[in-house]
Amino acid sequence: MSKESVSIGLSAAIVAVEGERPSVLVVAHDGAADALPFGPFDPAQQRTLESGLRKWVGEQTRFGLGYTEQLYTFGDKGRHESAAGTRVVSVGYLALTRQGKEAPETEWRGWYHYFPWEDWRDSKPAMIDSTILPALKKFVKDAPNAEAAELRRERVNVCFGEGWDEERVLERYELLYEAGLVEEFWRDSGRTNKGPSLGTPMLYDHRRILATAIARLRGKLKYRPVVFELMAPTFTLLELQRAVEALAGLRLHKQNFRRLVAEQGLVEGTGKFNAPVRGRPAELFRFRRVVLRERPAPGVRLGVRRSKAS
């Protein structure tokens, strides 16, 4: 009986928001698909998983990580193996930062390049009705039996049916993967794709890790003030709203958003104003860090405050 060897890999989805563009830092990997910063964990040299992650990120991007949290452990067979056939169990992390100058062979890329069906800020993405739903209908029809077809139908309804849930990023990506609508499915199965391939593919399982990071961040916006990890020290309320919208992929009602921010006590005025090229100056605000001690779950509960256009 042959024994399969396993190694531990460390991957980081480093997220920033510049204006209305949520981005992830990617690195070039031997001319292949975009990759998250990643590398193997060395238990002899690295005391903890996170210290190993910080080492790899520092070497590959010249970034010093600030806010960082572990996401999940990924180890499905066939979705990340080394040349020697070793299965890689990858520990994914989410890191939040402000966008800065990237190192050589790294680039900030908008995360909707990888998940274009997730951006509902202007309207429902046209590809959902034109490409995704017809292909998923065929996926249901091609199920091996009635029970499997019903399970597939339920997943399609949950992921792409009425009542869009912005947090189901990973579930939608996994469904599209299984239906053969993303390039990684064909690459992992060793077959040639003759149909549509949605979004920009990533190396190994990295798009799956990024989907998990986006879902975690979208969920956390509602009960933790993590958006301020991505903001400048001072900002206008419109800049804050646009950052939240960019991350959530939804438009929010302006007055409702400002009322919520005021009710939650998330920000305080600085008494200073910006100097816009056009329009009237707007007051600059800063995050009230004391709010973290005032109550256990200060966040932007955007789920019930979407604008009608969304």
The domain limits of the chain are 6-112, 115-199, 224-304
Q: Which residues contact 257 (CB under 8 A, 6 or more apart)?
A: 237, 241, 244, 300, 302, 305
Which pLDDT belongs to residue 303? 45
Cα–Cα distance between 191 and 180 in angstroms, integer? Answer: 11
pLDDT at residue 30, rounded to an integer: 64
Can you give 62-81 as a three-state secondary structure string? CCCCCEEEEEEEECCCCCCE
Q: Backbone phi, then psi, for 149, in 5-degree steps?
A: -65, -40
Cα separation, 124 vs 110, in Å, equals: 18
* 3-class DSSP state of 21: strand
pLDDT in tens, 64-93: 788 899 998 887 765 655 556 677 788 999
pLDDT on residue 308: 44
Domain 6-112: state its class: alpha beta
List Cβ<8 Å contacts ≥24 apart for 126-130. Answer: 127/198, 128/160
User: 224-304 architecture in CATH?
Assistant: Orthogonal Bundle (1.10)
Per-residue confidence (pLDDT) for residue 1, from 0 to 100: 43
Which residues does the chain have with pLDDT short of 70? 1-4, 29-32, 77-85, 101-102, 294-310
The predicted structure's pLDDT at residue 84: 60
Q: Which tokens belong to 266?
A: 């998330």
